[in-house]
Structure 1
Amino acid sequence: MQNKQMQHLMKGAVVLSIASFVAKILSAVYRIPFQNMVGNTGFYVYQQVYPIYGIGMTFALSGFPVYISKIVAEETAPAEQTQILRRSFALLGLFGALIFLYLQYQAPAIAVVMADAELAPLIRMVSYMFLLMPFLAVTRGYFQGIFNMIPTATSQVAEQLVRVVVIILAAWLSLKLHWSVYEMGTWAMSGAFFGGLVATVALLKPAEKAFVLRGTKPKGINLGAYRSLAKRLLIEGGSICLFASLIVLLQLVDSFTVKKGLVASGLTEDFAKNLKGIFDRGQPLVQLGLVISMAFSSTLIPSLSRARQQQQDHQFQQVAESLIHISLGLSAAATTGLMILMPQVNYLLFGDADGNKALVWYMLSIVIIALINACNSVLQSLDQFHKTTIALLIGLLVKVVINQWLVQHFQIVGASVGTVISLGVVLALILRQSPELVQDALGGQHFTGKLVLICGIMAVAVRFVVTVIQPSLVSRGQAVLGAGVGIAVGVSVFISLALAWQLFSIREWLTIPGGKQLLKLAQKLKR
């Protein structure tokens, strides 16, 4: 029976991983045609307010639902599960309403602090999604708690699809109807509400029975139970939310400091907006760089939890090591490739090579975030929430303190460096507090040394080939050729050296999709 439940859990985890992968691809890819349609200034307007949406999205999808699923799974009685849902909905409903009211009334003040008073309508528009957040968070958490991942997966993909369609439609209409970039941004931000509305409708019927109280109805309101749940939601649920929104929180700091710092450095308002729009190109690139490593490594997280629950220490150590190796290896390859091919990638996706230096620095975020997430998964499996939370808060504080000064002195390169430094602080603090198995995974069989050498050789090979076939870059056609050849060479060199120098174990290769075929090919070539 337990084996059957575990198979059901694993199947659900795979379904949710696929849905998350599709949603993340949609969330990253739409920004490219969007930027091409609205230009750097239009992209700046949208990206300034996007982090507020991103935080709300984290609450509704990957923060509170994860914690609610945990407390629902702890209760076996349906009546108790319903009580948890009702209390969670009431508490999050109050929380969402307060955020909505704050954003509605303080939108002008927030926009002024962002150094652009015309952003107020966008802030008011994005606030509406917080009214939908409580229902989305609670119902998704309930279904994940009873190991039914289908409703969450369906609502997640539907929400992103609708949001992307609304955003692209807003961009297209702004060109046809000659809207200002702020009118366009306001309608683009409405995609957050319409996407959330579709997700709510998708979850209404499946969740109908969950809120119907079964068993004996309690007398009165249990204030003690509400206080206890509120405390747990704030501390443990808040910790999960913080980590799930790490990238978005750093972008929120950028929204308040980058444009302001650029103007303080002596740039005009219009030029500062344009330059911030160029800097914001880094976000979809980082997301795309993380998607592959996160998708592969996320398949290992249920195995990590299972090994911990069954007290299989050796199995836990093996899975943790595989999680760290795969996350770090694939993200390091993606980081190296994007850094070397940045002129081609930038020209191909955005039509020019502006901001290359800043974007190259920003790409370092990929490998650091991947390693932070892998270590965080291990620590959370060991119920060590507070260590990662403190590290994250210190890293954010570092970003707040240094960012505007860096921007004033080094413009958008300074903003990228500020992000890398703050992430580096978070990673250093987490590694310092991590158990020995994390240190062993990074140093075992000289893994990190091999990885650095492989990425170095890959970088030299890609740079040499691209320089030979493409001494200059003046069109998107050339960018396609350079990026295509560079990616082919980079992938070939990385895989060949990783196999030859046994960077990953056989177990790890088998975890990576296509790894089994690569091992067979390597054996054939040896023979």
Structure 2
Amino acid sequence: MNRTSVWRGAFWLSIGSFVSKLIGAVYRIFLPRVLGDYGVGLFQMAYPLYAILLAVSVNGIPTALAKQTAEKLSRGDGDGAERLGSWAQVMLGVVGMLLAAAMELSAPWIARSLFGEPASTWAIRALAPALAFVALEASFRGYFQGHQDMEPTAISQILEQVARVMVMFPLAYHFLPYGIDKAAAGATLGAPIGAMMGMVFLGWQRVRSGGGWNLSGRIPLGDLWRLVMVALPMSFSGLLFPMMLMADSVFVPGRLRLTGLSLEQATARFGQLSGEAMPLINLTMVVGAALAVSLVPAVARAIVAGDHDQANQKVDSAIHMVWLLGLPMSAGLMVLARPLTQLLYGESGSAGALQVLALGSAVLAIQQVMGSSLQAAGHGWVPVKNLIFGAGVKFLLTWWLTALPAWGIRGAAMGTVGAALTTAYLNWRDWIRIVGPGTQPFKSLLWPLVGTVVMAMGLRLWLTGPVWLPSFWHVVLAVPVGVVVYAAVMLLSGEMATVSKALKER
């Protein structure tokens, strides 16, 4: 596998994202024990707004900058690539600082008017500075990805999370005597400090690699304008999902109150969904997200060359990897939801929402792969349109089901699953319409599905099995038991040999 391989890039991004999320799971696991469900709800309320502002300012920029940087390098214009990267960093730095200031100053109004929870003011203010640091991080990552170098991005993700976890717990404990809202804000301060550390590392890597800042001469306004135009549909795609989360934080607690819960209880239930169930689901999304990023240049090259069969083949291989790795992780979370949440969080209130979300986690990954492939094919607005349809489905399901006592917070989780199914199907349908038939997402599903069913049965037997083991070891050892059972089925079916061959060929 050479340095520019899709699979090498996906490997590094998968490793970085997985380790980053694994480290992030540490604070997701222990934070409820420090802040309680109400404090986690306050902590989580600030993040959807933060994600929306990031989507407006920087989402799509790394991919667009990588594309333009690679084009300039392929033409031998290394100086132009350096100038574009340098001015992009200046532009994003200014935008990030302006947004950070706006979020900081408007925090009381946002907490009171949007969230209906004035106690979230301090958490919003604590998170605001991260906007400036993350904007600069995005410009550095786009620069390195344009040079087909994914390692700095992966390492910066890990470093960011390590710094975040090291800071947030001491600050949460420090501010706890001053009130739960101050403690939630102390924990939130880990985000800007982590982002600052990631930004510093990426800047150091750029200097170390010999890439200097080139701000001489005229500002490349044409290149910057094209950068914005290419990033625009990607930014809208990235914007819609946090907007759905933002909508959840605004109206889900209110819909939950219709089931007879108090405001504090409804906020706690929202914290169980967004702060406990979603982080575990995000671990299953690592491979899909990495493949989505790495597929863009490979699919774009195949489309430009007019080789639609090759484009379909690459997308098929990516979907195969999602089925192979995503299905068993989803099933494992469904089977282990109750004992796992009890072990991690000290209670299992988020188990129902986790089981529902796990139903659609593999489909969420395929939605990402198909959306990125459409963007690579030059149809960036098509996934945006499909996400809007998916958002409509999510809103309707969430609004209806969350207010039903039989569903509660699981209704909001079902809305997310419905949105994933809708968007993934529409993306696949449009891919066939634009690129032509050839991609068959269910062609490679059979053996991963068989292995997943056998693994789930094995986990059920294990959980009801050796009663002499303490419950802690029952849950901890269930993971390697599931891995061994699933791997055995894949080896016996010849599936692992097929994947190994595909990786060597690509």
Which TM-score applies when normalising by structure 2?
Answer: 0.84
Indicate if the aligned counterparts of 1:379 and 1:385 stay in contact, CA closer than 8 A.
Answer: yes
What's 1:196 paired with? 195
* Residues 1:236 and 2:230 are matched in the alignment: yes
Q: Does 1:333 align with 2:332?
A: no
Between the aligned partners of 2:381 and 2:308, the Cα distance in structure 1 is 22
Shift of 1:335: 1.0
1:96 aligned residue:
96
- Give me the whole-angstrom Cα distance separating, in 1, the residues matched to 2:357 and 2:7: 35
Give how far 1:483 is off.
5.3
Separation in 2, partners of 1:210, 1:429: 43
Identify which of 29, 32, 35 aligns with 2:29.
Answer: 32
Cα displacement (A) at 1:253: 2.5
Query: Does 2:498 correspond to 1:507?
Result: yes
* 1:181 paired residue number: 180
Q: 1:426 aligns to what?
A: 423
Q: What percent of counterpart residues are identical?
A: 26
What residue is the counterpart of 1:106 in the other structure? 106
Instruction: Letter of the 2:214 partner, please give it.
Output: V
Please, which runs of 5 or more residues in structure 2 have no aligned partner? none
Q: How far apart, CA to CA, are the structure 1 residues paired with 2:235 and 2:474?
A: 41
Partner Cα separation in structure 2 for residue 11 and residue 468 of structure 1: 40
How far the C-alpha of 1:454 sits from its partner, in A, is: 4.2
The change in CA–CA distance for 1:500 and 1:420 in structure 2 (over 3 A counts) is same
1:64 CA drift (Å):
1.5
- Does structure 2 retain, via aligned residues, the 8 Å contact 1:470–1:482? no
Q: Which amino acid aligns with 2:471?
A: Q
Residue in 1 aligned with 2:62?
65
Q: CA deviation at 1:238?
A: 3.2
1:475-490 matched pairs, under 5 angstroms: 477-482=470-475, 484-485=477-478, 487-490=479-482
Deviation at 1:212, TM superposition (A): 2.4
Question: What SS does the corresponding residue of 1:265 show, helix, strand or coil?
Answer: coil
SS at match of 1:115: coil
Q: How many Å apart are 1:424 and its aligned residue?
A: 1.8
Q: 1:135 matched to which residue of 2?
A: 136
Give the residue type in structure 2 aligned to 1:484: L
Aligned to 2:20: 23
> In 1, distance between residues paired with 2:486 and 2:239?
31
Deviation at 1:20, TM superposition (A): 3.1
Structure 1 unaligned segments of length 5 or more: list them. Answer: 514-527
- TM-score (normalizing by structure 1): 0.81
Closer/same/farther in 2, CA of residues 108 and 439 from structure 1, 3 Å limit: farther
- What residue in structure 2 maps to residue 124 of structure 1? 125
1:384-423 correspondence runs (5 A): 384-409=379-404, 410-423=407-420
CA distance in 2: counterparts of 1:46 and 1:314, whole angstroms: 47
Note the 1:39-438 alignment, pairs <5 A.
Answer: 39-55=36-52, 63-75=60-72, 76-112=76-112, 113-174=114-175, 178-207=177-206, 210-213=212-215, 217-218=217-218, 225=221, 229-230=224-225, 232-233=227-228, 235-244=229-238, 248-280=242-274, 281-291=276-286, 314-409=309-404, 410-435=407-432
Cα distance in 1 for partners of 2:2, 2:450 equals 44
Contact map agreement 1:23 1:157 (CA 8 A) in 2: yes
Distance in 2, Cα, partners of 1:169 & 1:44: 19
Classify 1:439/1:146 alpha carbon distance in 2 versus 1 (closer, same or farther; 3 Å). closer
Check conservation: 2:20, 2:157, Cα contact below 8 A. yes
Structure 1 distance, partners of 2:84, 2:31, is 41
Q: 1:230 to 1:127 in 2, by over 3 A?
A: farther
Amino acid at match of 2:474: L
Offset of residue 89 of structure 1: 3.8
Larger radius of gyration: 1
Give the distance between the partners of 2:368 and 2:343, measured in 1 at CA: 30
**For residue 277 of structure 1, what is the amino acid of its counterpart?**
G
Given that residues 10 and 302 in structure 1 are in contact (C-alpha distance below 8 angstroms), is that contact kept between their aligned partners in structure 2?
no
1:338 deviation in Å? Answer: 1.0
Q: Equivalent residue for 1:520?
A: none
Q: 1:470 to 1:427 in 2, by over 3 A?
A: farther
Aligned 8 A contact 1:297 1:327 in 2: no
Letter in 2 for 1:194: I
Shift in CA distance, 495/60, structure 1 to aligned 2, threshold 3 Å = farther
| Structure 2 counterpart SS, 1:274 | helix
1:143-168 Cα distance to aligned partner (Å, 9 max, x none): 32233445444433322221121122
Q: 114-123 vs 262-271, which deviates more?
A: 262-271
CA contact (8 A) 1:21 1:295 kept: no
Cα distance between partner residues in 1 of 2:460 and 2:62: 44
Structure 1 residues 292, 139: closer, same or farther in 2, change over 3 A?
Answer: closer
* CA displacement at 1:501 relative to structure 2: 4.3
Q: Which residue of 2 aligns with 1:517?
A: none
SS at 2:64 equivalent: helix
- Would the alpha carbon gap of residues 231 and 127 (structure 1) be closer, same or farther in structure 2, given more than 3 Å must change? farther
1:99 Cα offset (Å): 2.4
Structure 1 vs Structure 2 CA RMSD: 3.5
CA separation in 2, counterparts of 1:273 and 1:352?
16
Distance 1:389 1:457 in 2: 37
Deviation at 1:417, TM superposition (A): 1.1
Q: Is the 8 A contact 1:342 1:359 kept in 2?
A: yes
Cα distance change, pair 197–339 in 1 and its aligned pair in 2 (3 A)? same
Structure-1 separation of matches of 2:331 and 2:387: 25
